[in-house]
Chains A and B, each alone.
Chain A
Amino acid sequence: MSQKFTRREFGKLFAAGAAGSALGAFSGVKPLFAQEKRVVVIGGGFGGASAAKYIRKLDKSIAVTLVEPASTFYTCPFSNWVMGGLKEMKDIAQTFDVLKSKYQVEVIHDTATEIDPANNSVKLQGGKTLAYDRLIVSPGIDFNYEAIEGYSEEAANNQMPHAYKAGPQTELITKQLKEMKAGENVLICPPGNPFRCPPGPYERASLIAHYLKKNKPGSKVIVLDAKEKFSKQGLFTKGWDKLYSDVIEWRAGSMGGKVMSVDPAAMTVETEFGSEKGGVVNIIPPQRAGKIAVDAGLTDASGWCPVNPITFESTIHPGIHVIGDACIAGKMPKSGFAASSQGKVTAAGVIRLMQGKVPAPPSLVNTCYSLVGPGYGISVAAVYKLTSDGIVGIKGAGGLTPMDADDDQLTEEATYARGWYNNITQDIWG
């Protein structure tokens, strides 16, 4: 995922960047008020809402318009807790009221359908066209349904939810878990790297196992993995041995884990080693940057968006910044925390660029909690800086919950996981 540039390529990119910015100032689209500088943000999730809030918090002279289709945003973090019966949908619902009232962000609930980088404008489904001085795109992910034979968006909405964007599919899988017969199995099928929230499928396996143990005697979670190893594997495996030794079974890609095709009507999954039937089947397909980023030509051959690691400005279209899961951020994982950290760094960078000042070198963080059981939390943390190899984790810092952590420490981590959610959502939408 790390991006390398030769010196010449880099010089070219930035000559282009400077020229692009200068041209932008003379483009045909005029802002409403001659003096006002406007940033448009596409996407109201962890990245976009953070950027919108922090631009307004740090520089009130810049107007910010946030485009987000949903009036209530359900967070992926803690959506596994809903499936496990530990939280309800209302607990993971975020709204834009505080961004509007306290930070005077103009929030438009619509979908951005077209970006015109030459004219600094964005078209919305509802018919509006928005002019921007700088654009921040935080579209999250889209799914490559076609990568799995037999799978489709329709199958995801009706029989085999991915539940990897929180919302109706989170409710569907939770309902399916309640309605499945005791003794039936739950199949969770995570994709290969890179994908959103690397520990997500394994926290999901843990909390669904917690639910099954209580409510569906004889039922198991079978994880059919496309990979040979996964995030926080040692810690998860230790927790599973302790809490769910007869309830969770994980199969590596080479051990029959790789899903070849699915039959949504029959609720079956084909692997190289044979067929598996599930009472609940959770297919998490491979992913790419959200649709608007692809349509606007912000992605490269990888399906993700290359950016300048100081300000997250696109190396393809100057004046447009891409943050969150959609961008290629060196060694940072695609997580809500990482997206928020990038959103804030981008907010500070955009402000300084608009003030004609030099952006400060970036400092980025990721802190990610997973719940193995209600009183059993684990975490991974990293602090990132920019080097000639791009954004990398600082050696000697960060890392995992120690393998020899005692019960008290694991309980503390579970408590802090709840505190983490309260504060990160307050910091973004509150």
Chain B
Amino acid sequence: MSRKLTLWLAAGLISAAALSGCAGQTSEDGANQAQEEEGFNPRGQILALSCASCHGTDGESVGIIPGFFGKSSTYLENALLDFKNERRYSTVMGRHAKGYSDDEIKLIAEYFGWVSQQTTSN
């Protein structure tokens, strides 16, 4: 990781630490702790929030673009990997899926799997 990027991330940590009055927590620790407390990974959430713009809030589509609310994490992970690796035809989805590592795709799939379990309607 570059120095400047580390600084940006560290800066976020300082802001948060100043507010909470606690320090010494790394970004990764924070993410893991949050997952234990909240049931979701904050990184997965950040990665997943954009999807709703085309697929509807929580993946509940109101238009012709397919929704995915209620699908399992495994289903979503496989679908995204298929789009990424061009095993499944798409107009624009493949262009998006290529923007994420396989690990990130797993996090996105896990987040929406978790959302579907939490929410009966958004």
Which residues of A are at the interface with B, using a C-beta cutoff of 8 A?
5, 7, 10-11, 13-15, 17-19, 21-22, 54, 57-58, 308-311, 313, 337, 340-341, 344-345, 348-349, 352-365, 367, 379, 381-383, 386-388, 394, 396-399, 401, 409, 412-413, 415-416, 418-424, 426-427, 430
Contact = CB atoms under 8 A, between A and B. Distances in A.
Contacts, number: 190
Interface string B28-39: 001100100000
A91 to B, nearest CB: 13
Given A14-B11, A22-B18, A423 B61 contact: yes
A344 B2 contact: no
A79 B49 CA distance: 26
Contacts of A363: 46-47, 50, 104
B121 to A, nearest CB: 10
10 contacts: A54-B49, A358-B13, A360-B31, A363-B50, A365-B50, A365-B96, A367-B53, A367-B96, A386-B8, A427-B52
Contacts of A416: 64-65, 91-92
A171 B51 CA distance: 32
Give the residue among A19, A348, A349, A352 with the most B Cβ atoms within 10 A. A352
B20 A356 contact: yes
Contact of B96 (A381, A388, A412, A419): A381
B96 A21 contact: no
B11 A13 contact: yes
A391 to B, nearest CB: 11
Enumerate the 7 nearest inter-chain pairs by beta-carbon distance, A residue then B residue, closest first: A356-B20, A383-B99, A422-B63, A397-B99, A419-B63, A365-B50, A419-B64
Contacts of A362: 46
B11 A17 contact: yes
Nearest to B34: A357
Interface of B: 2-5, 7-22, 25, 27, 30-31, 34, 42-43, 45-47, 49-50, 52-57, 61-65, 91-92, 95-100, 104, 122
SS class, residues of chain A in contact with chain B: helix
Contact of A353 (B15, B53, B104): B15
B43 A398 contact: no
A383 B31 CA distance: 22
A358 to B, nearest CB: 4
Contacts of A22: 18-19
Contacts of A7: 3-4, 7
A149 B65 CA distance: 45
B12 A359 contact: yes
Contacts of A14: 10-11, 14-15
B48 to A, nearest CB: 9
Nearest to B53: A424
Contacts of B17: 18, 356
A354 B42 CA distance: 14
Contacts of B56: 423, 426-427
Given A7-B4, A426-B57, A412 B91 contact: yes
Contact of A388 (B3, B21, B100, B122): B3
B30 A427 contact: no
A228 to B, nearest CB: 26
A360 B13 CA distance: 10
Nearest to B108: A363
Nearest to A310: B12
A313 B18 CA distance: 15
A415 B14 CA distance: 46
B62 A358 contact: no
Given A308-B8, A362-B46, A396-B98, A57 B122 contact: yes
A356 B92 contact: no
B2 A341 contact: no
Give the residue among B15, B20, B43, B98 with the most A Cβ atoms within 10 A. B15
A412 B4 CA distance: 42
A412 B66 CA distance: 13
B53 A348 contact: no
B39 to A, nearest CB: 13
Given A364-B50, A394-B99, A21 B18 contact: yes
A352 B18 contact: no
B43 A361 contact: yes
Given A13-B11, A422-B62, 8 more contacts: A15-B14, A21-B15, A364-B50, A387-B5, A397-B95, A419-B61, A420-B65, A424-B53
A348 B62 contact: no
Contact of B92 (A352, A360, A379): A379
